[in-house]
Amino acid sequence: MEVVLPTGEIINTGSLTNVFTKFPFIRYGNGPDFTGLFCGDNGIYGVKTKISLQVFPRPPFAAYKTYAMPRKANEVSAQILTEIRQKGIDVYDAMYIMDLVVRIGCEQGLFPMWEKLKKKRGVVFYTIEANSEEELEQKTNQLDKILLSKKAEDLGPEISDGNIAKWHYTEQGHWQFYHNLWGIV
């Protein structure tokens, strides 16, 4: 990233801090992450004049599931997400939405897909991507085994069943998700 500081000085962050490189190749690796300092500052720390972004193709296969948590959802969800990380399962997205957010969100009409849930407990969802059907099936089986061992309940394959993970991935819901919550905070 190239940044013009308020003093008029021009600086580079990331790999471009190395004067011997001809193009940006990594954000990290040359000391502190100064790129992070300038991300999200809305120009307060400096005006960004050049950036680089590495883009990867989307794998051809994806799966997305949403589970309602049993009692003690906070503890159980922490155990689930910790186990996923400890086992090194490659996930595109995994998130826990606590019961308070589910309950209030349903009361406010923010989560119509969960209105039919009898118990408004926390929810965990995941999205995985793969380059083959076999890889996708293997990852899905690993994740489902973890969630089902903690007595989580699969809400079904469709958005209307309560599968917010599918909405998140296929309908670009990740860009809209928290926007709805700003009004109730």
pLDDT tens across 147-159, in order? 999 999 999 999 9
pLDDT tens across 53-75, in order? 878 899 999 999 999 999 888 89
Mean of pLDDT values over 32-61: 87
The answer to whether residue 56 is domain-embedded is: no
Together in a domain, 32 and 92: no
Domain count, the chain: 2
Host domain of residue 22:
2-50
pLDDT level of residue 183 (50, 70, 90 thresholds): low
**What is the pTM assigned to this prediction?**
0.73
pLDDT tens across 124-141, in order? 999 999 999 999 999 999
Together in a domain, 66 and 45: no
Together in a domain, 159 and 111: yes
Residue indicated by tokens 């118990």: 119
The answer to whether residue 111 is domain-embedded is: yes
CATH number of the domain enclosing 172: 3.30.70.3450
